[in-house]
Amino acid sequence: MEKTRQKLRTAAIAALAFSTSALALHAQPKTNMMHQWAQGSEAAAIAKLGEMFEAAGGKWEQTAISGHTSNTLAKLRSDVVAGNAPAAVQLKGPEITEWNQTGQTANLDDLATAEGWDAVVAPELISVMKPTGHWVAAPMNIHRVNWLYSSKKILDELGLAVPGTWDEFNAACDKIVAAGKICIAHGAADWADTTTFDSVVYGMDIDLYRKAFQEADTEAMRSQGMIDAFAQLRKMVGYMDSGINGRSWEQSMAMTMDGDAAFFLMGDWTVASANLAGYNEDVDYLCSQTPVNWGGNGYILNADSVVFFKQKDPDYIEGQQLLAKTIMSPEFQVTFNVAKGSIPSRTDVDLSTGGFTQCQQKSQSDLKASVAEGTLVRSMAHNMTVLQKYRGAMMEVITEFVADTSITPEQGANQLADAVEAQQ
């Protein structure tokens, strides 16, 4: 059995080598990758992919779309409609399935078999990358969304511990505000408000999170549990300062790490940005999971991946093979993820060497613990659960709720359900 598998594998590799070399006679592998990483640590991380692709003989071009994931998705849609589908695009969650269903995405099965992806890719990612049993996406990483960064300086000064539950969080904030300090550093943007709300709903009621945010169940959205979650969000808006509009997540991060605010809730791209700006774990900040009321380890997962659209030009076709191969290489998974704050999508990479931070190592061990405890969820805020039309509708309601303090938690919950129902 093992021998047959080995033979098949060798034959597949030989076939791939033949087909790539046959193509390579005429083709110069080329790509133009569309993605959302336009600035700062994110641009620095994706630049590493460009460098590795070029070192492997490819010609790298990129189209970086400023803003958050929805801007990239909008550009993708308009390019495809214009008959100009990108050779490679950063695409996530259910959008991978949706684009796969159009029949325009390339099938990566041959490469995946030759390279043994099924055996090394984290099991949590496989169904996302193989929506119908065929590989259509190459996963770059695993990001954890439910991180709480605490200012070591403020916690030490006030003798406070990192809060483990939402009640402890509120009690800490009351003390921090009473001491004349800002409790939560925040920059209002639809996706950032929704990132915070992801953690609130999840930490208060994991079943509600699954029903409302993974299954888009509007009855769950109108429930008392969701009203309670909006009430917690309302409280948290009160713990923010008045400068949240127009503030970037990097600025909020700096407020916390400089000791101007106590807490910052954000995914672990923050770790990359902190490294780049020279902040240190355990000196400037502590990282822990955002509060949960149900004990145990929680993990809200987000993953960046690349999907390839069918092309006519052999240079781009050849480039797709090379790019997917580069992305899945252990070398790239280390270099990129050290620079991105995330952890590799491969399970066979050792994080104790190569420059991963303690937060990144904790992400890996907490992921394992969360899987074992059955608490792992995917992130709604980061396009990993419902289609963009539902996520977009929910983000609008959540961001409006943060901006307008006259909206009551009951109204928030009903508006959330109404907005999703309007898209059905």
Which residues of the chain form contacts with ligand BGC (CB under 6 A)?
Answer: 42, 68-69, 143, 267, 269, 302, 304, 382
CB 113 within 8 A of CB 130: no
User: Least distance to ligand BGC from the beta carbon of 266, Å?
Assistant: 8
Of 130 and 143, nearer to ligand BGC (C-beta) is 143
Q: Number of C-alpha atoms within 13 angstroms, CB side, residue 15?
A: 13
Of 140 and 154, nearer to ligand BGC (C-beta) is 140
User: Least distance to ligand BGC from the beta carbon of 409, Å?
Assistant: 26
CB 190 within 8 A of CB 396: yes
For the chain, what's the residue count? 424
CB 94 within 8 A of CB 385: yes
Q: Beta strand 285-289 with 147-151: parallel, antiparallel or unpaired?
A: antiparallel
Of 252 and 302, nearer to ligand BGC (C-beta) is 302
User: Least distance to ligand BGC from the beta carbon of 159, Å?
Assistant: 33
Among residues 119, 122, 195, the alpha carbon closest in space to that of 368 is found at 122
User: Least distance to ligand BGC from the beta carbon of 360, Å?
Assistant: 14
Contacts of residue 180, defined as CB under 8 A and 6 or more positions apart, other chains included, come to: none
Of 194 and 326, nearer to ligand BGC (C-beta) is 194
User: Least distance to ligand BGC from the beta carbon of 67, Å?
Assistant: 9
User: Least distance to ligand BGC from the beta carbon of 85, Å?
Assistant: 21
DSSP symbols for 214-247: IS--HHHHTSHHHHHHHHHHHHHHHTB-TT-BT-
User: Least distance to ligand BGC from the beta carbon of 37, Å?
Assistant: 7
User: Least distance to ligand BGC from the beta carbon of 32, Å?
Assistant: 19
DSSP symbols for 267-334: -THHHHHHHHHT--BTTTEEEEEPP-TT-S--EEEE--EEEEB--SSHHHHHHHHHHHHHHHSHHHHH
Of 48 and 59, nearer to ligand BGC (C-beta) is 48
Secondary structure (3-state) at 250? helix
Of 145 and 154, nearer to ligand BGC (C-beta) is 145
Hunting for tokens 């992921």 — which residue is that? 367
Among residues 378, 68, 411, the alpha carbon closest in space to that of 233 is found at 411
User: Least distance to ligand BGC from the beta carbon of 280, Å?
Assistant: 21
Of 37 and 166, nearer to ligand BGC (C-beta) is 37
Of 191 and 401, nearer to ligand BGC (C-beta) is 191
Of 325 and 382, nearer to ligand BGC (C-beta) is 382
**Closest-approach residue to ligand BGC (CB):** 269
Among residues 35, 128, 33, 38, the alpha carbon closest in space to that of 88 is found at 33
